[in-house]
Amino acid sequence: MTLISPGKRNTQEDQRGISTMALSVWNYCVPLAIIIAACLVNTARCQAVQAENVTVLEGGTAQISCRLQNYDGSIVVIQNPRRQTLFFNGTRALKDDRFQMVLFTQRLVRITLTNVSVSDEGGYFCQLYTDATHHQVATLSVSVPPETPTVEVKQEAVEGGEAELTCVSPRSKPATTLRWMHNGREIPGVVSQQDNGKTFSVSSTIRIPVERKDNGAALNCEAIHPALSGQKRVRHYRLDVYFAPTVRIVSPTGILREGDSLSLTCSITGNPLPRDILWSKINDTLPERAEISGPTLQISRLSQSHNGTYLCQAQNNFGRAADHYTLLVYENVSVTTMAPTTSPIQPTSTPTSHFLDPKDPGAVVETHSAVPYAVIGGVLALLVFTVICVLIVTIWCSVRQKGSYLTHEASGLDEHGEVQEAFLNGNDASQGKKEYLL
């Protein structure tokens, strides 16, 4: 036994392969060289046929041409990929009206195939029967452009969760390219491809987190294919995000009094939008005059018996919401002007104003301007003070003027009488006199 190293074994295999290739080339080239040489020697008798490959869109029309060289009237046969004869020297051999012979000359034979399908793909044989049979194969390729893709919802989009969407192109050849787009930006997807024989089905799946604000977002699935000549087949899709409702009562502004009318509107959002809206009154029933029209509650001729808290509720499959409104009806208050009390000086006019108490919007407070009364009071006080002062001065003066007042002569007589009386009485005149002044 002789052992051969791996390096020597590879060398021997390479040499054997080269020898085999050289033999094949020799077997192919030598007959071809002989035919070419024969044609060059006798061009009048050398005939040949050539075929052209064709690519056509599915549903279109294909033209299959066979070019002849030095044709001398030999038999020309055209066969389909299943080797069934379509035409024999221009005569129809297969009953298929889709095939038509449109041209048969010494240089060109042409047939057409309408409404092409992928089942028509393959090699069409152009055969020229002379001393030696010559044939060429025209390969027909059918391209299948994709239809507009479809979008399948694999998982519903719920607020706070994820949406799973799949874009599907069920049939194309070659396989189409799918791309998800949102606001001009591509969303990466998971692509899968399935071979259906001669066509392909392609799908692209995306999973995206969603919130309430994403409801109605525009997504596009684009199909790109060579047969579309740079165009795109686009499927537009609006994202549908489900979320619980929100409720808000729209109420009138201002103060409501007895006899007024009340209109409350329940503004609701949600997906899906709740169909049933429930109006109620907490711890009581709705008033008899209450009318409900869709989301609106109306009460005519309000009274204080209508006071209370009114509730609007809405619900869908994803939650419930409510809002309340507290009604406070005020009693009607008649506004009157009070006449001022009698005073010595009556003002010509007294301005009166009315305002609402901020602590109690229903109470009307009547006020009179204090400026005229202050002036009148000051004048009266001044007059009273003046009168009092005059009285005090008058009384003081009258008190000072009471008593007896004597002239100088009367005063002398009094002194002389007093001396005389003292002498008679034996009193000493030296005691003097006493003077009393009042």
Taking the domains of the chain in order of start, what are their residue ranges? Answer: 48-143, 150-241, 244-327
CA dihedral 181, 182, 185, 189 (to 10 degrees): -50
**Please, which contacts does 249-256 make with residues 24 or more away whose CB atoms are closer than 8 Å?**
249/310, 249/312, 249/323, 249/324, 249/325, 251/325, 255/330, 255/361, 255/362, 256/302, 256/327, 256/328, 256/329, 256/330
Q: What pLDDT is stored for residue 379 in this prediction? A: 81
Q: What pLDDT is stored for residue 384 in this prediction? A: 86
Residues 229-236 have a mean pLDDT of 94
pLDDT tens track for 378-414: 888 888 888 888 888 888 777 766 554 444 444 444 4
- Tally Cβ neighbours within 10 Å of residue 389: 10
Q: Which of the four pLDDT bands, split at 50, 70 and 90, describes residue 10? A: very low
Whole-number Cα distances in Å, 23 to 27, 31, 393: 6, 13, 166
Q: What pLDDT is stored for residue 129 in this prediction? A: 85
The two domains 48-143 and 244-327 share their CATH topology (first three levels equal): yes
Q: What pLDDT is stored for residue 45 in this prediction? A: 53
Secondary structure of residue 44 in the 3-state scheme: coil
Secondary structure of residue 72 in the 3-state scheme: coil
Taking alpha carbons only, the member of 196, 85, 198, 63 closest to residue 140 is: 63
- pLDDT averaged over every residue in the chain: 78
Q: Which of the four pLDDT bands, split at 50, 70 and 90, describes residue 72? A: confident
pLDDT value at 194 more than 80:
yes
pLDDT value at 297 more than 90:
yes
- Place domain 48-143 in its CATH homologous superfamily: Immunoglobulins (2.60.40.10)
Secondary structure of residue 116 in the 3-state scheme: coil
Q: What pLDDT is stored for residue 377 in this prediction? A: 78
Whole-number Cα distances in Å, 146 to 68, 84, 149, 329: 38, 31, 8, 69
pLDDT tens track for 303-343: 999 999 999 999 999 999 999 999 999 988 755 444 444 44
pLDDT value at 418 more than 60:
no
φ/ψ of 127, rounded to 5, equals -115, 135
Distance between CA atoms of residues 124 and 144, nearest Å = 20
The verdict on domain 150-241 having CATH code 3.40.50.2300 is: no
CATH class as words, domain 244-327:
mainly beta
